[in-house]
Structure 1
Amino acid sequence: MASETSTVTALDAQILREWMDRHEDLIVIDVRSAAEFEAQHIRGSYNVPLPLLSEHTDELAARLGKRVVLVCQSGVRAEQARQRLGTAGIDTALVLTGGVPGFASAGGEVVRGAQRWDLERQVRMAAGTLVVGGLLAGKFVSPKLRLLAGAIGTGLTFSAATNTCAMGNMLSKMPWNKTAAEPTAESAIRQLPAA
Structure 2
Amino acid sequence: MSEFLHRLPEFLGNHFVLALAFIGVLVALLVVQMQQFMRGYTALTPAGLTQLINRENAYVIDVSAQAEFESGHVPGAHHLLPSQVDPDGKELSKSREAPVALTCRNGQASASAAQKLKKAGYSKVFWLEGGIAAWREAQMPLAKGRQ
Q: TM-score range by the shorter chain?
A: 0.5 to 0.7
Aligned to 1:29: 61
1:85 to 112, 117, 127: 117
Corresponding pairs, count: 109
Question: Counterpart amino acid of 2:43?
Answer: A
Aligned to 2:127: 95
Larger Rg: 2
Instruction: Give secondary structure in 1 for the equivalent of 2:73.
Output: strand
Instruction: State the 4+ residue runs in structure 1 displaced beyond 4 angstroms.
Output: none
Identity across matched positions, percent: 28
Q: Distance in 2 between matches of 1:108 and 1:23?
A: 19
Aligned to 1:70: 102
Q: Distance in 2 between matches of 1:19 and 1:68?
A: 9
Q: 5+ unaligned residues in a row in structure 1: which ranges?
A: 114-180, 182-190
Normalising to structure 2: TM-score of the pair?
0.64
Aligned to 1:58: 88
What is the alpha-carbon root mean square deviation over aligned residues? 2.3
C-alpha deviation, 1:8, in angstroms = 5.1
Instruction: Give secondary structure in 1 for the equivalent of 2:88.
Output: helix
C-alpha deviation, 1:18, in angstroms = 2.4
Instruction: Give secondary structure in 2 for the equivalent of 1:41.
Output: coil
Question: Counterpart amino acid of 1:110?
Answer: L
Q: Determine if contact 1:71/1:95 at 8 Å carries over to the other structure.
A: yes
Normalising to structure 1: TM-score of the pair?
0.50
Would you say 1:111 and 2:140 are equivalent positions?
A: no
C-alpha deviation, 1:50, in angstroms = 0.4
